[in-house]
């Protein structure tokens, strides 16, 4: 609920909040599900306080990635209000992709080193973080953003058509926007 309210105030659209919360549930559920799957392969990790700390860290990581993408979408919409939501999503994802991958790689490598060289307690934490970082990065790019596109983007498209605006998009007509990274 707190995350929903934060994103709602930050972006002024409930669709952003809903998409972020769905992506975060996705991340948390997959990390939780990874423990019994790991146990089936002989890796027995406990779901204790360290596990809760790992899940909260993953939620923070995923939320940060999602907010960066949302912020870029909002920036592109402000820079050219004539563009539709659908027209700015792909360039926004492209411009944040390298930043997202660098962040993912850096954290992933650190957590893998912790997993390999850490003790049993750190191994449990690192396992949850490895799974969570993979799915958190995936959900920011491929779950949260498409949900916004399906909810807010379609709503905006209907409103513009009702207002009589011509918003037909030709293949390859994506706008030329700045691709600077954060």
Q: State phi, psi for 134 to the nearest 5 degrees.
A: -60, -50
- Read off the pLDDT of each residue in 105-111 and give the average, rounded to a whole number: 97
Does residue 143 form part of some domain? yes
- What is the domain extent for residue 7? 2-162
Mean residue pLDDT across the chain:
88
Q: What distance lies between CA 166 and its chain's CA centroid?
A: 31
- Read off the pLDDT of each residue in 173-182 and give the average, rounded to a whole number: 50
Does residue 43 form part of some domain? yes
Does residue 168 form part of some domain? no
CATH of the domain at 152: 1.20.1640.10
- Read off the pLDDT of each residue in 152-167 and give the average, rounded to a whole number: 72
Token pair in block for residue 124:
């449990």
Residue 12 is classified by DSSP as S
Q: Are 132 and 51 in contact (CB under 8 A)?
A: no
Share of the chain above pLDDT 70, in %: 90
Its pTM stands at: 0.82
What pLDDT, in 10s, does the model give residues 83-97? 888 889 999 999 999
Q: Are 86 and 169 in contact (CB under 8 A)?
A: yes
Please check the confidence at residue 171 and state whether its pLDDT lies above 70.
no
Q: How many domains are contained in the chain?
A: 1
With cut-offs at 50, 70 and 90, classify the pLDDT of residue 182. Answer: low
Does residue 12 form part of some domain? yes
What is the C-alpha to C-alpha distance for residues 148 and 6, in angstroms, rounded to an integer? Answer: 16
Residue-level pLDDT at 8: 87
For the ranges 9-13, 23-27, 81-85, the maximum mean pLDDT occurs at 23-27
Q: Are 179 and 91 in contact (CB under 8 A)?
A: yes
């Amino acid at each position: 609920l707190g995350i929903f309210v934060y994103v709602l105030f930050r972006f002024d659209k409930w669709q952003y909040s809903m998409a972020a919360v769905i992506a975060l549930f996705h991340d948390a559920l997959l990390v939780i599900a990874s423990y019994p799957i790991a146990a089936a392969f002989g890796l027995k990790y406990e779901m204790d306080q360290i596990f809760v700390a790992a899940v909260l860290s993953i939620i923070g990581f995923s939320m940060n990635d999602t907010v960066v993408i949302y912020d870029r979408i909002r920036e592109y919409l402000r820079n050219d209000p004539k563009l539709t939501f659908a027209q700015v999503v792909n360039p926004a994802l492209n411009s944040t992709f390298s930043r997202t991958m660098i962040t993912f790689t850096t954290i992933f490598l650190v957590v893998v080193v912790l997993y390999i060289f850490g003790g049993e307690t750190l191994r449990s934490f690192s396992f949850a973080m490895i799974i969570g970082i993979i799915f958190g990065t995936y959900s920011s790019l491929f779950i949260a953003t498409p949900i916004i596109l399906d909810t807010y983007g379609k709503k905006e498209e209907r409103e513009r058509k009702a207002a009589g605006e011509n918003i037909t998009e030709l293949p390859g007509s994506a706008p030329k926007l700045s691709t600077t990274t954060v």
